Structure 1
Amino acid sequence: MRKALLVCSLLALSVPLAGCDMFSGSSVAGAEDGSWTDGTARQLKEAIDNRATHGLDRMNFAVEGDPDSAEGQQALTQSALRYATAVAKGVSDPTKLYDIYTAARPEPELQAGLTKALADGKLGEWIDSLAPQDDNYRKLSDAYLALRKDGTAPATEIPDAGEPLKPGDTDPRIPLIARQLVASDYLDRVEPGTGYTPIMVAAVKRMQADYGIEPDGVIGAEALQILNLSDTDRAKAIAVAMERLRWLDRNVPDTRIDVNIAAARLTYWRDGKIVDTRKVVVGKPETETPQLGSPIYRLVANPTWTVPRSIQNKEIAGKGAGYLARNNMAWRDGWIVQQPGPQNSLGLVKFDMKNDHAIYLHDTPAKQLFGEVQRQRSHGCVRVEDALGFAEMLARDEGVTDEWQKARATGKETFVPLPKEIPVRLLYQTVLFDDAGEPVIRADAYGWNDRVSAALGFPSSEGRRFQASGSDVGP
């Protein structure tokens, strides 16, 4: 339950903000769109001075201009729109950072909003209202500000004592190591004492295997590099998490499915409340699951699987007729098609989605992968834990239980349209919160945070990445 709650709680460089295209079409004429006064100019400066609230303190939003001149009015308007855009939509544009990004984005009327804020003399209030207003954003902001103040954030960096830490050793660093293993999901809880216990050793070995290190349980420099999070590392991750939330449309559907690709978790919202959360398996680093907004429009019972050319050419080519027969596959119109059945790579149910990237949710016969900590192991689609149970839940909630049960009973591929599409968002968020409200930094398995942190003005850093193993031919 703890981990379910933890996951449920969340979900362009240092240069002018992507030119003027971040607010293309908006006039920056100045006085004729709303007059600046000394008071509103002061409010703008105060708002920008407090930009650390949004993790934007490494960005330059200099306030220039004297409100007593036309040129000054225009300069103040430009500064206000640049900062308002950053708060409302983000410093960076995800559709330019990534090859694929289709999640709904906010489209505020910034010029009109600025004009009204100037007329009302409430510029600061208006800028504050542009940021996400949910609890997650506020908690991220509080955590970021705490990291900037000496002594207010718990120590997280594990010092290198020079000698590797071996199983059975006693060391004062053990509580810090255990805390990070828990945060990373490799360990269930921090046990008292400073002994390097067999339970911790097993957790470290599992972590080492995920990162391509010899799984010997010895904590040397390489293992510490994975475990260690400096305050800068934590601040960077939190600032990126806030930026990712700013990318998202504020008007989210009350009924929806959110998949956190980084945490490999699914959350099902119904009428504004979380009704279910479960593990998923998502794409491995070389076949990432893209960030999409794409609805489920039908359930598919006993699906067939038409093997994509990429998988066919790389992983099935040359296998021969015996392999195809063992896996219930056959050639059909130039494609390899796997017939329905429990060993089908899509399992017994597919959740068909509308997108141009052949990405969808589905069942899987590879149940063991749900037991992994790092579940980035598929070819890009999203495998759902207990997918049949989830399908039954959706069918019940959408009033098509009878149709679903009849479809399953046929043993053949059968389609059950949903009376209303269910929106799905595939997102990437590496900061979650534990039951105590403390931020938990999860692995950036795809390295997708790097380009966002660069846009926010953070220096680049190198660290070990997750190396997928144990995957199969399934999508």
Structure 2
Amino acid sequence: MSKYWVGTASALALLAGCNVQDQPAQNAATSNAEASQNASWDGKTTDQLRKAIANRAAHGLDGKQFAIAGDGQEALTQAALAYAAALARGATDPTKLYDVYTVPRPEGDLRAGLQQALANKDVAGWLNSLAPQDANYRRLSQVYLELRKQPAQAQPAVADTGDAIKPGSTDPRVPHIARQLAALDYLDAGAAQGDRYTPAMVAAVKKMQSDYGMESDGVIGAEALAILNQSDDMRARAIAVNMERLRWLERSPPQTRIDVNVAAARLSYWRDGKLVNSRRVVVGEPDTETPQLGSPMFRLVANPTWTVPRSIQEKEIANKGPGYLKANNMVWKDGWIVQEPGPKNSLGLVKFDMQNEHAIYLHDTPAKPLFAMVQRARSHGCVRVEDALGFAQMLAEQEGVVDEWNKARATGKETFVKLPRQIPVRMLYQTVLFDDSGAPIVRNDPYGWNDRVSEALGFKGPASMRVKTGAADVGP
């Protein structure tokens, strides 16, 4: 049954199949079904469709055309279904934009929904119901429309001379930087004092750097200037891309789930519909990206071993020699390098096993300092969890397997603890986050994945800003 529409005809047909209706009710159901199936376009519903398509910028879809190819009934129906599909599932197909995309997507019988909307003469209401209804989506829509009203930026607001501006120094670009900081709501208007880079401006720059996923050192170099010079058009395209990504997602996700925002390197744990925990993670570096997966977690692994993948073995360990293997508690087993359990194991002391064909999972790590870094795209694709043991303990307690988990840990050997129910995990990619006031912040796009979505939405020009993250270590 459609997630977007519960049709009178289909609902009554199900009841009739259970023989719970008397004959008059069955006749009424048949009559309603026929009326819905035979509903057609008239002047009112046609006008509703045309207005909805004309206002598609509210969904960041003004780069796409949804032309009504003629005045006939079928032309109107095809245009309505195309626009409805864009709102309900996205105007683009992520499985064609990315090599891997398995996050659950919305489903629904849009044709049946359209027929019911025509019967009710409320095509506008039906179309409005298809896009995400949450506050974040509405905020993105509002900001997108506001940005589209701004005049095009002819040249960069702040010149990039190649010289970094350090706290306390003077530079002729400071007044221009102050105006940009004020425009981005990081600084009160008029706070600049001539050409001097004041403490108030330093604090504003640090906040901006933190919001955009950069090292918040207050030094205005090339990366900070890229943010200050980010045009309204680029910000608008990034917001449109993230609205599209929200439309890709099912409207009623599992109440208990784990969401990993790969772009922001953050994990969110939802239980019974409430956000109960959030923590930092380390994700794949740009050459070994963490894919957008929908994959259930089915067990905890205490004291895991790590069988080194061939790619890592050949590129990073092949020339190390036996001394390196011994120092890192690695041995050869059946032609593979295996790292034994222990504090040096690259998986740390716990692995969260997930069911997918890409060998992607969550795990602990001995490289704890990575979590303190702002840019955390540094793994070979798997997701390292901050305080993974604490997270495992939380899951074990809430899932009723804490005794089994504690015993497994105490063995010091690789031991598996099956969860009584699988916990859905979604690897998402959102480059627009919200600050404390609810305002959207367009952040770093570490993989450069915004541009391909933007182009598919019909926009020209970049929709992303990338920041270098540094090299990964040997771990997965």
- TM-score (ref. length: structure 1): 0.83
Whole-Å separation in 2 of the counterparts to 1:93 and 1:337: 39
The code of the aligned residue for 2:352 comes to F
- The answer for the alignment partner of 1:172 in structure 2 is 175
Q: Say whether the 8 Å CA contact 1:287–1:379 is kept in structure 2.
A: yes
Structure 1 unaligned regions, length at least 5: 1-30, 67-71, 184-188
- The answer for the alignment partner of 1:159 in structure 2 is 157
Q: Secondary structure at the match of 1:330?
A: strand
Q: Secondary structure at the match of 2:279?
A: strand
Q: Superposition pairs for residues 242-391 of structure 1, below 5 Å?
A: 242-391=243-392
Following TM superposition, by how much is the alpha carbon of 1:237 offset from its aligned partner in structure 2, in angstroms? 0.8
- The answer for the alignment partner of 1:125 in structure 2 is 125
- The answer for the alignment partner of 1:62 in structure 2 is 67
Q: Say whether the 8 Å CA contact 1:304–1:339 is kept in structure 2.
A: yes
- With a CA cutoff of 8 Å and minimum separation of 6, indicate the structure with the bigger relative contact order: 1
- The answer for the alignment partner of 1:38 in structure 2 is 43
Output the aligned Cα RMSD: 3.1
Q: Greater CA deviation, 385-394 or 133-142?
A: 133-142
Q: Secondary structure at the match of 1:142?
A: helix
Q: Secondary structure at the match of 2:175?
A: coil
- The answer for the alignment partner of 1:49 in structure 2 is 54
Aligned residues with identical type, % of pairs: 63
Q: Say whether the 8 Å CA contact 2:361–2:383 is kept in structure 1.
A: yes
Q: Deviations over 1:336-375 (max 9, x none)?
A: 0001111110000000000000000000011111111111
Q: Secondary structure at the match of 2:48?
A: helix
Whole-Å separation in 1 of the counterparts to 2:332 and 2:67: 64
Following TM superposition, by how much is the alpha carbon of 1:39 offset from its aligned partner in structure 2, in angstroms? 0.7
The code of the aligned residue for 1:44 comes to L
Whole-Å separation in 1 of the counterparts to 2:190 and 2:426: 37
- The answer for the alignment partner of 2:81 in structure 1 is 81
Q: Deviations over 1:140-172 (max 9, x none)?
A: 111112212349xxx9x9712465453233422
- The answer for the alignment partner of 1:115 in structure 2 is 115
The code of the aligned residue for 1:353 comes to M
Q: Say whether the 8 Å CA contact 1:158–1:177 is kept in structure 2.
A: no
Whole-Å separation in 1 of the counterparts to 2:450 and 2:365: 29
Whole-Å separation in 2 of the counterparts to 1:436 and 1:463: 23
The code of the aligned residue for 1:343 comes to K
Cα 1:203/1:377, change in 2 over 3 Å: farther
Whole-Å separation in 1 of the counterparts to 2:214 and 2:243: 27
- The answer for the alignment partner of 1:143 in structure 2 is 143
Q: Secondary structure at the match of 1:423?
A: strand
Whole-Å separation in 1 of the counterparts to 2:273 and 2:422: 16
Q: Say whether the 8 Å CA contact 1:89–1:246 is kept in structure 2.
A: yes
Equivalences, count: 426
- The answer for the alignment partner of 1:219 in structure 2 is 221
Q: Secondary structure at the match of 1:323?
A: helix
Q: Say whether the 8 Å CA contact 2:260–2:267 is kept in structure 1.
A: yes
Q: Say whether the 8 Å CA contact 1:174–1:196 is kept in structure 2.
A: no
1:439 and 2:440 equivalent?
A: yes
Whole-Å separation in 1 of the counterparts to 2:280 and 2:184: 19
Cα 1:453/1:91, change in 2 over 3 Å: same
The code of the aligned residue for 1:48 comes to I
Q: Secondary structure at the match of 1:36?
A: coil
Cα 1:178/1:250, change in 2 over 3 Å: same
Q: Say whether the 8 Å CA contact 1:158–1:173 is kept in structure 2.
A: no
Whole-Å separation in 1 of the counterparts to 2:463 and 2:130: 33
Q: Say whether the 8 Å CA contact 1:285–1:467 is kept in structure 2.
A: no
Q: Say whether the 8 Å CA contact 2:261–2:427 is kept in structure 1.
A: yes
Following TM superposition, by how much is the alpha carbon of 1:460 offset from its aligned partner in structure 2, in angstroms? 2.9
Whole-Å separation in 2 of the counterparts to 1:190 and 1:303: 55
Q: Secondary structure at the match of 1:294?
A: strand
- The answer for the alignment partner of 1:415 in structure 2 is 416
Q: Secondary structure at the match of 2:468?
A: coil
Following TM superposition, by how much is the alpha carbon of 1:227 offset from its aligned partner in structure 2, in angstroms? 4.2
Q: Deviations over 1:87-121 (max 9, x none)?
A: 11111100011000000011120111111111110
- TM-score (ref. length: structure 2): 0.83
Q: Greater CA deviation, 315-324 or 157-166?
A: 157-166
